[in-house]
């Protein structure tokens, strides 16, 4: 009885609009003369025929905002991140720049590889984990909260240094166990609606759920400015929102579960360009 009720609710959500109206399929994301990879042929082991960035599921107007750094509101956060990068903090009175120098050189490519295994801590680190580890280890500063303005700004700024580079996460070695856990979470039904991530972002991408045009759930643009939020948010904030939508108890931001899921989703978008900081609906 419970499953039948859940299926009825799911059907009601998806019945609002079958196929959404995508922006021009020939449109290209070009920023400062650089063309980003927003779609590519999927590998043989992918559930998709094509790998598509979430940018391709947005309206023409929303896409256009990301084309221009002066119009993209996410860039304000990245600029704040640059200020934080050069500001001394903690008991040691050091800034990030004191150790790492020019972020455009020292942080180039980092976002494209995240999450990744941290050999010192023997665990998988999201970018936020790396930042807090460095604050505590090198600055003797207090860690930032996951969704604080400071953390989101710093991840936006560090991510910006990898913009245009292909997503390239490692899923072998000690990261393999985490990847497998992330995959398990992706396909596990949870919540009152008895749904998994795959029901929306694999089985129904391109369709509408109420006013939302379902994408493949690619995470190559995070942290992102969402028009719905009227502000910036992390990958894990988006995960929480999805779990709330299907009436499930969400994991905590920064939890092993969300970090494992982040790795699995990043691997599904291998080769897409990093768009950080991106703009979404």
Kindly state the average pLDDT of the residues 198-225.
95
| Count of beta carbons in the 10 Å neighbourhood of residue 210 | 10
What is the domain partition of the chain in residue ranges? 2-70+166-280, 74-160
- CATH of span 74-160: 1.10.760.10
**Same fold yes or no, 2-70+166-280 and 74-160:** yes
For 48-89, write each residue's pLDDT tens digit.
999 999 999 999 999 999 999 999 999 999 999 999 999 999
Q: What is the pLDDT of residues 88-147, one digit of tens each?
A: 999 999 999 999 999 999 999 999 999 999 999 999 999 999 999 999 999 999 999 999
Average pLDDT over the chain reads 92
Write the DSSP string, 211-246.
Answer: TEE------TT-SEEETTTTEEE-HHHHHHHHHHHT
The pLDDT of residue 205 is above 50: yes
Longest dimension (CA), the chain: 61
Please check the confidence at residue 238 and state whether its pLDDT lies above 90.
yes
Helix (DSSP H) and strand (DSSP E) numbers for the chain: 11, 12
Please tell me the predicted confidence (pLDDT) of residue 203. Answer: 97
CB atoms within 10 A of CB 144: 19
The pTM is what? Answer: 0.92
Catalytic residue among 96, 99, 200, 242: 242
Q: Using an 8 Å Cβ cutoff, are 165 and 109 in contact? A: yes
242 is a catalytic site residue? yes
Distance CA 167, CA 157 (A): 17
Residue with token string 């084309």:
67
Contacts (Cβ under 8 Å, ≥6 apart) of 237 = 147, 253
- Let me know if domain 2-70+166-280 sits in CATH 1.10.760.10: yes
Q: What is the mean pLDDT of residues 158-177?
A: 98
């Amino acid at each position: 009885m419970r499953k039948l009720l859940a299926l009825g609710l799911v059907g009601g959500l998806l019945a609002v609009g079958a196929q959404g109206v995508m922006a021009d399929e020939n449109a290209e994301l070009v920023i400062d003369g650089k063309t980003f990879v927003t779609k590519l042929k999927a590998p043989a082991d992918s559930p998709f025929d094509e790998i598509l960035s979430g940018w391709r599921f947005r309206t023409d107007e929303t896409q256009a905002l990301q084309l221009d750094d002066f119009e993209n509101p996410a860039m304000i956060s990245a600029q704040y991140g640059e200020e934080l990068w050069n500001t001394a903090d903690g008991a040691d009175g050091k800034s990030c720049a004191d150790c790492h120098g020019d972020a455009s050189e020292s942080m180039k490519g980092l976002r494209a590889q995240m999450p990744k295994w941290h050999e010192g801590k023997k665990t998988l680190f999201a970018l936020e984990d790396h930042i807090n580890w460095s604050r505590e280890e090198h600055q003797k500063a207090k860690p930032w909260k996951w969704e604080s303005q400071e953390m989101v700004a710093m991840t936006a700024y560090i991510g910006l240094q990898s913009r245009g580079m292909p997503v390239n996460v490692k899923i072998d070695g000690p990261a393999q166990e985490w990847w497998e856990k992330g995959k398990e979470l992706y396909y596990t039904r949870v919540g009152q609606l008895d749904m998994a991530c795959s029901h929306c972002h694999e089985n129904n991408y391109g369709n509408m759920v109420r006013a939302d045009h379902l994408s493949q759930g690619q995470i190559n643009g995070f942290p992102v400015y969402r028009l719905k939020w009227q502000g910036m948010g992390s990958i894990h904030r988006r995960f929480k929102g999805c779990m709330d939508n299907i009436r499930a108890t969400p994991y905590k931001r920064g939890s092993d579960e969300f970090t494992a899921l982040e790795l699995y989703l990043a691997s599904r978008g291998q080769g897409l360009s990093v768009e950080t900081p991106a703009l979404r609906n």
